[in-house]
A = this chain, B = another copy of it.
């Protein structure tokens, strides 16, 4: 039922043996990937975290080992001592394929039942099974690779920040519940009846306090928590690379972070990205891509035709505009033939999921156009539209008429969907862009007031400060997001370090100073005793690792993730607890 290693101590890792090792005696330990019996020999693929090597049991080398080997099955754990020899039938598919190890001594360290999932990357078992048997799923080479890339990325980040005089400082996990924003996970306090800690949504306030403390440069790779309904690729606990710097403005933060991003791509992907990274204003990103997370790997940019069609006979266009809406389109350049009416109808359904009421289209053929809306448009109008859209034979033009947010959202997603359907996105291409000059405020229709687009400590762009009271919607923020291939990988801002300006900000947000004090008391107190200019950024570490590993499932880059129902299929968390435990915490279940 399992032998001990005895005096055997591992000398080599399975995946590292090469022809250089021929003739050496080695001691290997690992799992049985596969066993084959052939010509009186037993061949075993032995696997450890570095890879696979073929070991051979031969009666003539060791009868004892051979006989014992006859009992082994998949996933048994072995320790073997043997000699590396040149392999007769070379296997070009694995790095160790030119050698094999003839076993002189075998210890079966543990037996194994037949595993409920296969230990191979192309196993197509359900994700539920993968998560339930995560300890087996993690044996797969791809998962081992993903976790190692995650480790290496953290290492590269730390090395870079260490070299740049950042100090890694741990901020508390048991924090104060926050007054607004996403939902907190709460933790009842036993020694303070009726009171609760919150798990941090981010270390934002603590890192600003560290700047007030004169720590100068802070970083942390840290768990954060949000109790939100989980969409795909969200987890209740997620990891941020969080950093903050004193005595900086936007360019300082961006320049340092570009070097960091350069280093990550260089060391993890072997790619040298171009510096400086392109910057694009929020407005430009919205106008051209319909989103503040533009994917620049392909075209199909948005064009505004509102001015052309505002008096159109086509009431779907002109009526929408009269009601305050607008009309924009994208040109699927050169791919008109790829989309039948039925395909376009499917695209329309896709656009509807983002709120569009319909999708108007014009196909430009060599011999004229086909379009269900052409008959409503005058010839001049049609020509102007085609000109604006840069339309030529072979193009498919798609239009949405609606209020601006719907136009952006639906066309922004549509251009990506079309590119995916056409399979024209180069997965090995990385297009990076800083999106800057975000609006400082956005109007919250529910609350009928302006709210901070980032957070209420975000510094306005200097020349816009005078507009705070008069035209708040025009005030831009010293905020920046780094967007890679359409994903926001990180974002941050310069913070207000001046009480006067902070007061004006709160006023613009409709907070009295008393409300502000209730919400942010200790931070406002801290700002009274000399606050340096400061700013920072936080990266979504899980998302970054997805990008670097080419994973499209966040659960493939986290060792022990939760489902979309926020449960662990492995440990069965969350679970019920005893009445006594609840009593100690001064709470009871609400029934």
The yes or no answer to A345 lying at the interface (CB within 8 A) is no
Across-interface contacts of A533 in B (CB, < 8 A): 4-5, 109
CB distance from A124 to the nearest CB of B (A): 20
Across-interface contacts of A587 in B (CB, < 8 A): 188, 582, 587-590
The yes or no answer to A196 lying at the interface (CB within 8 A) is yes
CB distance from A364 to the nearest CB of B (A): 50
Are A155 and B162 in contact, with the CB atoms below 8 A? yes
The yes or no answer to A499 lying at the interface (CB within 8 A) is yes
Are A174 and B236 in contact, with the CB atoms below 8 A? yes
Which residue of chain B has the shortest Cβ distance to A213 in the bound complex?
B138
Contact check: which of B138, B187, B199, B581 meets A214 at CB < 8 Å? B138
The yes or no answer to A298 lying at the interface (CB within 8 A) is no
Contact check: which of B138, B162, B191, B566 meets A215 at CB < 8 Å? B138
| Contact code string A7-22 (vs B, CB < 8 Å = 1, else 0) | 0011000000000000
Are B528 and A112 in contact, with the CB atoms below 8 A? yes
Are B135 and A530 in contact, with the CB atoms below 8 A? no
The yes or no answer to A68 lying at the interface (CB within 8 A) is no
Are B213 and A170 in contact, with the CB atoms below 8 A? no
Contact check: which of B76, B522, B576, B577 meets A530 at CB < 8 Å? B76
Most buried by B among A75, A501, A571: A571
The yes or no answer to A44 lying at the interface (CB within 8 A) is no
The yes or no answer to A509 lying at the interface (CB within 8 A) is no
Are A573 and B176 in contact, with the CB atoms below 8 A? yes
Q: How many copies does the complex hold?
A: 2
Are A151 and B138 in contact, with the CB atoms below 8 A? no
Are A187 and B190 in contact, with the CB atoms below 8 A? no
Are A237 and B582 in contact, with the CB atoms below 8 A? no
Are B199 and A576 in contact, with the CB atoms below 8 A? no
Tell me the A residues contacting B by CB distance below 8 Å: 1-2, 4-5, 9-10, 29-32, 47-49, 75-77, 79, 109-113, 115, 134-136, 138-139, 144, 147-148, 150-151, 154-155, 158, 162, 167-177, 183-192, 194-199, 206, 209-210, 212-216, 223, 225, 227, 229, 236-237, 239, 246-247, 249, 252, 462, 497-501, 521-522, 526, 528-533, 558-560, 562, 565-568, 570-577, 581-590
Question: Beyond the given A30-B214, A135-B526, A147-B215, could you list 7 further A-B residue pairs with CB under 8 A, ordered by the A residue number?
Answer: A1-B501, A49-B215, A77-B530, A154-B168, A175-B568, A175-B571, A197-B574
